[in-house]
Amino acid sequence: MRAIGMGQAQNTSLNPVARRRSQRVLMQVAVCIRGQDVQGNHVEEETETLAINAHGALVLMKARVTSGSKVVLQHKRTLEEQECHVAFLGPVRAGKAEIGLEFSSPRPAFWRVAFPPEDWTPRHPEARTVASHRGDKSQG
Protein backbone atom coordinates (compact mmCIF):
# COMPACT_ATOMS: atom_id res chain seq x y z
CA MET A 1 0.00 0.00 0.00
CA ARG A 2 1.36 3.44 -0.85
CA ALA A 3 0.62 6.62 1.05
CA ILE A 4 -0.69 9.57 -0.90
CA GLY A 5 0.00 13.01 0.55
CA MET A 6 -3.06 15.17 0.99
CA GLY A 7 -2.99 18.95 0.71
CA GLN A 8 0.52 19.33 -0.66
CA ALA A 9 0.72 23.12 -0.54
CA GLN A 10 4.44 23.24 -1.36
CA ASN A 11 3.60 23.12 -5.07
CA THR A 12 1.90 26.53 -5.16
CA SER A 13 4.92 28.21 -6.80
CA LEU A 14 6.05 26.05 -9.69
CA ASN A 15 7.79 28.76 -11.70
CA PRO A 16 10.69 26.70 -13.12
CA VAL A 17 12.80 29.81 -13.78
CA ALA A 18 12.60 30.91 -10.16
CA ARG A 19 13.56 27.45 -8.93
CA ARG A 20 16.29 26.60 -11.48
CA ARG A 21 19.60 25.74 -9.79
CA SER A 22 21.72 24.91 -12.83
CA GLN A 23 22.03 26.09 -16.43
CA ARG A 24 19.47 24.65 -18.80
CA VAL A 25 20.62 23.27 -22.14
CA LEU A 26 18.08 22.95 -24.97
CA MET A 27 18.77 19.40 -26.14
CA GLN A 28 16.74 16.47 -27.40
CA VAL A 29 17.67 13.25 -25.65
CA ALA A 30 15.67 10.05 -26.15
CA VAL A 31 14.22 8.91 -22.81
CA CYS A 32 11.68 6.47 -21.42
CA ILE A 33 9.53 7.49 -18.47
CA ARG A 34 7.88 4.96 -16.17
CA GLY A 35 5.45 5.73 -13.40
CA GLN A 36 1.73 6.12 -12.71
CA ASP A 37 -0.78 8.38 -14.41
CA VAL A 38 -3.44 10.43 -12.62
CA GLN A 39 -5.72 7.37 -12.37
CA GLY A 40 -2.97 5.24 -10.79
CA ASN A 41 -2.39 3.15 -13.93
CA HIS A 42 1.14 2.08 -14.89
CA VAL A 43 2.59 4.27 -17.64
CA GLU A 44 5.66 3.68 -19.78
CA GLU A 45 6.25 6.33 -22.43
CA GLU A 46 9.12 6.93 -24.83
CA THR A 47 9.73 10.60 -25.56
CA GLU A 48 12.50 13.18 -25.89
CA THR A 49 13.69 15.95 -23.67
CA LEU A 50 13.13 19.58 -24.64
CA ALA A 51 15.75 20.83 -22.20
CA ILE A 52 18.12 19.26 -19.68
CA ASN A 53 20.12 20.41 -16.67
CA ALA A 54 22.08 18.89 -13.80
CA HIS A 55 18.88 18.56 -11.76
CA GLY A 56 16.49 17.08 -14.33
CA ALA A 57 14.72 17.71 -17.61
CA LEU A 58 11.74 19.19 -19.37
CA VAL A 59 9.87 16.62 -21.49
CA LEU A 60 6.64 16.33 -23.47
CA MET A 61 4.30 13.51 -22.36
CA LYS A 62 0.97 12.17 -23.61
CA ALA A 63 0.29 10.52 -20.26
CA ARG A 64 -1.14 12.76 -17.55
CA VAL A 65 0.86 12.68 -14.33
CA THR A 66 0.40 14.35 -10.96
CA SER A 67 2.61 17.10 -9.58
CA GLY A 68 4.96 15.60 -7.00
CA SER A 69 4.53 12.02 -8.25
CA LYS A 70 7.59 9.77 -8.58
CA VAL A 71 8.74 8.48 -11.97
CA VAL A 72 11.78 6.67 -13.31
CA LEU A 73 13.59 8.33 -16.19
CA GLN A 74 15.71 6.11 -18.45
CA HIS A 75 18.34 7.55 -20.80
CA LYS A 76 17.75 5.48 -23.97
CA ARG A 77 21.36 5.64 -25.21
CA THR A 78 23.09 4.66 -21.94
CA LEU A 79 20.12 2.76 -20.42
CA GLU A 80 20.95 4.49 -17.12
CA GLU A 81 17.95 5.17 -14.89
CA GLN A 82 17.24 7.95 -12.42
CA GLU A 83 14.36 8.40 -9.99
CA CYS A 84 12.63 11.77 -10.41
CA HIS A 85 9.56 13.60 -9.24
CA VAL A 86 7.21 15.74 -11.28
CA ALA A 87 8.17 19.30 -10.36
CA PHE A 88 6.31 21.25 -13.05
CA LEU A 89 3.13 20.77 -15.05
CA GLY A 90 3.15 23.03 -18.09
CA PRO A 91 0.95 23.74 -21.08
CA VAL A 92 -0.45 21.05 -23.37
CA ARG A 93 0.37 21.26 -27.08
CA ALA A 94 -0.54 18.74 -29.75
CA GLY A 95 -1.90 16.39 -27.08
CA LYS A 96 1.33 16.38 -25.03
CA ALA A 97 2.00 18.28 -21.80
CA GLU A 98 5.26 19.93 -20.82
CA ILE A 99 6.46 18.11 -17.72
CA GLY A 100 9.37 19.25 -15.57
CA LEU A 101 11.17 16.32 -13.95
CA GLU A 102 13.57 16.82 -11.06
CA PHE A 103 16.15 14.19 -10.09
CA SER A 104 15.98 12.92 -6.51
CA SER A 105 19.57 14.18 -6.21
CA PRO A 106 21.65 16.24 -8.68
CA ARG A 107 23.21 14.09 -11.44
CA PRO A 108 25.04 16.30 -13.96
CA ALA A 109 26.83 13.26 -15.46
CA PHE A 110 23.51 11.53 -16.28
CA TRP A 111 23.17 13.43 -19.57
CA ARG A 112 26.81 13.00 -20.67
CA VAL A 113 27.18 16.70 -21.53
CA ALA A 114 29.24 19.52 -20.03
CA PHE A 115 26.95 22.20 -18.62
CA PRO A 116 27.91 25.87 -18.83
CA PRO A 117 28.83 27.59 -15.55
CA GLU A 118 25.93 29.10 -13.57
CA ASP A 119 26.93 32.67 -14.46
CA TRP A 120 27.06 31.96 -18.21
CA THR A 121 24.72 33.86 -20.55
CA PRO A 122 24.47 34.12 -24.36
CA ARG A 123 26.12 37.56 -23.97
CA HIS A 124 29.21 35.99 -22.36
CA PRO A 125 32.41 36.71 -24.41
CA GLU A 126 33.02 32.97 -24.94
CA ALA A 127 29.55 32.61 -26.47
CA ARG A 128 30.40 35.24 -29.08
CA THR A 129 33.66 33.48 -29.89
CA VAL A 130 31.91 30.16 -30.47
CA ALA A 131 29.15 31.79 -32.51
CA SER A 132 31.62 33.67 -34.70
CA HIS A 133 33.59 30.47 -35.36
CA ARG A 134 30.38 28.72 -36.42
CA GLY A 135 29.65 31.55 -38.85
CA ASP A 136 33.17 31.24 -40.30
CA LYS A 137 32.72 27.50 -40.87
CA SER A 138 29.40 27.89 -42.68
CA GLN A 139 30.84 30.47 -45.05
CA GLY A 140 34.07 28.62 -45.81
Q: Is the pTM of this model over 0.75?
A: no
Residue range of the domain that includes 21: 10-139
Rg over CA atoms, the chain: 17
Mean pLDDT of 62-84: 97
Residue 3 belongs to a domain: no
pLDDT of residue 1: 31
Q: What are phi and psi of 133, to 5 degrees?
A: -65, -35
**How far is 89 from 108, CA to CA, in rounded Å?**
22
42-53 and 96-103 as β-strands: parallel, antiparallel, unpaired?
A: unpaired
User: Residue 2: pLDDT above 50?
Assistant: no
The CATH code of the domain that includes 83 is 2.40.10.220
Residue 4 belongs to a domain: no
Residue 70 belongs to a domain: yes
Structurally, the chain folds into a number of domains equal to: 1
Mean pLDDT of 60-88: 97
How does pLDDT run across 13-46, given as a tens digit for each residue? 344 444 446 678 899 999 999 999 999 999 999 9
Residue 14 belongs to a domain: yes
Residue 59 belongs to a domain: yes
The candidate with the shortest Cα–Cα distance to 72, out of 48, 50, 101, 49, is 101
